[in-house]
Chain A
Amino acid sequence: MIRKTVILVLGAVLGVFAGIEFYRIRHLREPVVAGPGVTQAKKLGDYFPGIKGTINDCNIYVLEGEKPGGSVLVLGGSHPEEPSARLAAWILAENGRLEQGRLFVVPSANRSGTTVTRPSGAYPADYTIRTSWGEKKFRVGDRWANPLDQWPDPEVYIHYPTKQNLAYMDGRNFNRAWPGRPGGTLTERTTYAFIQMIKQEKIDIVIDMHEAELQYPVISTIVTHQKGQDLAAMVSMTLTGEEFKIGVEYSPKTLHGLSHREIGDHTDAISLLFETPEPFLDATRGRTDAKLLLEGKDDFVVRAGKRGLLFEKIDENGWPIDIRVGRQTSTILSVLDLWTMDHADRGVVLKNVPKYAEVIEKGIGAFLKDPAKADPKKVYYE
């Protein structure tokens, strides 16, 4: 009996350590210091009561200009393990100022997905960005919502309303659940809430930021609904000429559930989706740690590139997070500039957000604010 008790106690100690780790991942507090341009912080549940009070009742930071204009929604965290999307949203919310129009910024569109990492993936739980005032920690998250929040998975995920069959786990994939439905799963209710928000706020453009593995052909590009073809082509030409190479892909009309297809089909908004390269996601990667997530350096992925298996270049310098975030902010700024040029009355003029070269030069940390020194009324938690 003594032996059994000793083994049980040792097991309990292991259980406590594992339990603390899992609890910490799920409850790590990520502060956002609302910047000078944020006039109000809304909740997704303000637009659809069916999501109110759930884990996906996420924050929506609203930046408003004095001059009336159009409205743009920027989504980060659709797939939380694609960190440049969340970090770019952080930079917008903490630094942006609007001169015209309105900008809605969401750092954690699928908040449930930020509270879990991929089972058996040996993923890091979090990562840290260094700043001049200290360090800021973020959850790594997963591509899918947490099974604790949405369970069980079906044998086959049948997309609503098209009945297209998708992989079973994509029932928890935020970017396979558009346009959603009011009585559906948590993920479907989340996308449905965003559709209501887009309609109620008369959003002109929705930007959904993502990252992709280098073995995936849709990379370093803007995926656009047909309504946004001209805009995306202009942005691609401008950025490729002035800052970095970025392509354009057209949203397939028969591939359903994705934001670039369904938002364009079900609302008046133009839907655009950005992809930057993230070696952390590649199947042939080496150790999956926070260093790889942030530096994007991996010998195995480089080797895959030498064998012609990749759709984007990579060398020993990798794809550091500053470059990836800079691509996101510059692409957003370019979209807004070119949209405003053609739609003066529906323009959205955003200032004080760093472009590609500035993010690389100063690092992301230079644009993250210290919550300890901020007015507590301006600090929100993701």
Chain B
Amino acid sequence: MIITILYYLLIAFVAFLIIGNLLKSKKWQEEVLYVIVLLPFLLRLLRLK
């Protein structure tokens, strides 16, 4: 259970970093890439897969 909680905290942290990079980015190609990378992290946080 502790490992699972740590796992979700880690996922949330990485998602937070991706969103941070997305906001800082100046290139639209990078922004699209960040959003695509973000999706599985958000879905996992929502326990959808």
Contact = CB atoms under 8 A, between A and B. Distances in A.
A7 B35 contact: yes
A116 B49 CA distance: 8
B36, B42, B43, B49 — most chain A CB neighbours (10 Å) = B49
A152 B43 contact: no
Interface residues of A, number: 17
B28 A15 contact: no
Contacts of B25: 4
B1 to A, nearest CB: 10
Interface string A9-40: 01100110011001100100000000000000
A122 interface: no
Interface string B4-42: 100100000000000000110100100110011011001
A19 B43 contact: yes
A148 B47 contact: yes
A3 B31 contact: yes
A3, A23, A116 — most chain B CB neighbours (10 Å) = A23
A3 B22 CA distance: 11
A222 B3 CA distance: 40
A15 B49 contact: no
Contacts of A152: 3-4, 7
B48 A11 contact: no
Contact of A7 (B32, B43, B48): B32
Nearest to A14: B39
A8 B42 CA distance: 13
A11 B36 CA distance: 7
B43 A18 contact: yes
Contacts of A11: 35-36, 38-39
A151 interface: yes
A4 B49 contact: no
Interface in A79-117: 116
A312 B39 CA distance: 42
A11 B33 CA distance: 10
Contacts of A26: 48
B23 to A, nearest CB: 7
Given A3-B28, A14-B39, A19 B46 contact: yes
A358 B2 CA distance: 53
B43 A15 contact: yes
B39 to A, nearest CB: 5
Nearest to B40: A18
A148 B49 contact: yes
A199 B37 CA distance: 50
Contacts of B49: 18, 22, 116, 148
Interface string A150-166: 01100000000000000
Contacts of A23: 48
Contacts of A4: 22-23, 25, 31
A7 B7 CA distance: 27
A27 to B, nearest CB: 11
A152 B4 CA distance: 7
Interface string A133-146: 00000000000000
B28 to A, nearest CB: 6
14 contacts: A3-B31, A10-B35, A11-B36, A11-B38, A11-B39, A14-B36, A15-B39, A15-B42, A18-B48, A18-B49, A23-B48, A151-B3, A151-B4, A152-B3
Given A11-B39, A22-B43, 7 more contacts: A4-B22, A14-B36, A14-B39, A19-B46, A26-B48, A151-B4, A152-B4
Interface of B: 3-4, 7, 22-23, 25, 28, 31-32, 35-36, 38-39, 42-43, 46-49
